[in-house]
């Protein structure tokens, strides 16, 4: 059964309809970025592999969409070097980082100069169902197939069906809050 066959039509009706006038007044981007820095979020490394190559990036804009069928969303700036790879590969793995993974978060955030496939020199990696790299020591790894990509403002909102899950060891997770890594 495909993903499209599993979703009830009435649940999706109107899901992407425009509900506001064309012009909406918003706060200045700097004010918004400062406010968002106060919103603590789990730190993930989102990976992809396939015909377009292997890569990954650090992300906090990840969340559950539904459990029927199990679906996540990931937000990625369209200017990212990862955007075209993810769009072509159509698979991803969301690897939630543990408290001791700050080094991995920095590598995949581009803070060390490692580029694309070279980033996988840090950490131990394997694959689950889709072939996207899964971090062996992740708190949890969600192996997904991309089912839809929506362009919203400067970002792609990537919807992905979860094909496999690997739950890692229990322990503290890594979060990003007030422009710093913290443990919870």
Set out the domains of the chain in order of their start, with CATH numbers.
Answer: 3-183 (2.30.110.10)
pLDDT value of residue 21: 65
121 has pLDDT over 90: yes
List of residues 6+ apart from 40 with CB closer than 8 A: 175, 176, 177, 178, 182, 184
Q: Are 141 and 64 in contact (CB under 8 A)?
A: no
Cis preceding-peptide flag for 110 (omega within 30 of 0): no
Q: Report pLDDT digits (tens) over 78-96.
A: 999 999 999 999 999 999 9
* Tokens 């080094």 found at: 103
Q: Report pLDDT digits (tens) over 125-156.
A: 999 999 999 999 999 999 999 999 999 999 99
Q: Are 45 and 108 in contact (CB under 8 A)?
A: yes
Alpha helices in 67-174 (DSSP H): 82-89, 102-108
pLDDT value of residue 24: 85
Q: Are 143 and 126 in contact (CB under 8 A)?
A: no
175 has pLDDT over 80: yes
């Amino acid at each position: 059964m495909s993903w499209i066959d599993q979703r009830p039509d009435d649940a999706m009706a109107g899901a992407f309809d425009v509900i506001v006038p064309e012009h909406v007044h918003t706060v200045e981007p700097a004010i918004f970025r400062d406010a968002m820095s106060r919103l603590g979020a789990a730190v993930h490394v989102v990976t992809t592999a396939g015909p377009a190559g292997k890569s990954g990036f650090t992300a906090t804009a990840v969340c559950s969409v539904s459990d029927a069928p199990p679906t996540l969303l990931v937000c990625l700036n369209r200017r990212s070097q990862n955007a075209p790879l993810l769009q072509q590969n159509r698979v991803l793995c969301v690897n939630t980082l543990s408290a001791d993974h700050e080094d991995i978060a920095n590598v995949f955030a581009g803070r060390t100069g490692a580029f694309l496939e070279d980033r996988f020199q840090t950490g131990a990696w394997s694959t689950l169902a889709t072939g996207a790299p899964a971090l062996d020591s992740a708190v949890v790894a969600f192996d997904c197939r991309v089912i839809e990509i929506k362009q919203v403002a400067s970002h792609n909102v990537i919807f992905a069906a979860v094909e496999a899950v690997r739950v890692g060891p229990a322990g503290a997770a890594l979060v990003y809050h007030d422009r710093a890594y913290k443990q919870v």
